[in-house]
């Protein structure tokens, strides 16, 4: 059964039909529906409080919106002051405990000092290493040029020795030292070339030298090899020949002073 309520009471025909079908319970239901309809009518007839009022917009110049902004600004400033005060208090306590607690630059330099020092040292050493190698090569080239010049000079001078045979020859101490240094350097270069030629792997066809090097290996307990210089047989031979040549020089070719000394000797 569908019940449809309107403003006021229900139609008598509907009430009678429902009573005949549902009995006593229908009367209670109809009574409840009547009470609900009356409450709805009373609520609809009640006038609204704002029904007859027209809301006017406020004038922008007279709107009191600054009060809220001022209050918010005051609250913000008070909060900021409190935070700054707390920070200053913490800062003071930290400085009392450790005066260098905020020395960030010093701490960073102390932590990275080893790394920075090692990098700078490597750069300095690398630079010095290359410069030293370049200087060494330049010095070697200069010595080579000096040796070539000396050989050329001696060769040219030997062509004119027969013209100045009886004249005295003087050699300064500086030139003597220079000749000694050149001879020493040439000797070192000669031994270095011999060592390089000996260690040249392209000229080795067996494994004997390999096993000899293993035997001389320092990591296996062997001592460093000491290269002994060969006997200077060439120099001894030249000295012997020079003595013989002096003895074989004829009398006219000798110095007159030397001949007089030999005559005076018993």
Please give the DSSP secondary-structure letter assigned to residue 173: H
- Of the listed ranges 54-68, 82-96, 125-139, 222-236, the least confidently predicted one is 222-236
pLDDT confidence of residue 10: 47
Decide which of 209 and 225 is more confident: 209
What tokens appear for 171 in the block?
């050699």
Return mean pLDDT, the chain.
67
Average pLDDT over residues 170-182: 82
Distance, in Å, from the CA atom of 30 to the CA atom of 15, rounded to the nearest integer, reads 7
Tens of pLDDT, residues 5-56? 444 444 555 556 555 555 545 556 656 666 666 665 455 445 555 555 555 6
pLDDT confidence of residue 219: 53
Which runs of consecutive H residues, i.e. helices, occur in the chain?
Answer: 12-22, 24-45, 66-97, 104-111, 113-158, 173-198, 208-215, 233-247, 256-264
pLDDT band with cut points at 50, 70 and 90 for residue 230: very low
pLDDT confidence of residue 254: 46
């Amino acid at each position: 059964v569908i019940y449809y309520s309107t403003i006021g009471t229900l139609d008598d025909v509907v009430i009678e039909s429902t009573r005949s079908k549902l009995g006593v319970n229908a009367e209670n239901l109809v009574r409840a529906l009547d009470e609900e309809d009356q409450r709805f009518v009373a609520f609809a007839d009640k006038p609204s409080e704002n029904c007859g009022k027209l809301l006017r917009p406020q004038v922008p110049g007279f709107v009191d919106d600054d009060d809220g902004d001022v209050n918010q600004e005051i609250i913000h400033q008070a909060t900021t002051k409190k935070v700054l005060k707390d920070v200053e208090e913490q800062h003071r306590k930290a400085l009392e405990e450790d005066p260098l607690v905020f020395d960030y630059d010093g701490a960073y330099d102390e932590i990275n000092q080893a790394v920075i020092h090692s990098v700078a040292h490597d750069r300095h050493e690398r630079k010095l290493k290359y410069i030293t190698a370049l200087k060494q090569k330049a010095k070697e080239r200069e010595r080579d040029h000096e040796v070539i010049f000396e050989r050329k000079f001696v060769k040219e001078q030997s062509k004119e020795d027969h013209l100045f045979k009886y004249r005295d020859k003087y050699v300064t101490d500086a030139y003597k030292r220079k000749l000694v240094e050149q001879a020493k350097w040439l000797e070192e270069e000669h031994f270095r070339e011999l060592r390089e030629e000996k260690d040249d792997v392209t000229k080795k066809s067996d494994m004997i030298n390999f096993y000899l090097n293993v035997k001389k290996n320092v990591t296996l307990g062997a001592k460093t090899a000491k290269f002994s210089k060969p006997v200077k047989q060439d120099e001894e031979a030249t000295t012997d020949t020079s003595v013989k040549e002096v003895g074989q020089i004829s009398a006219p070719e000798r110095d007159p002073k030397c001949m007089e000394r030999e005559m005076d000797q018993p």
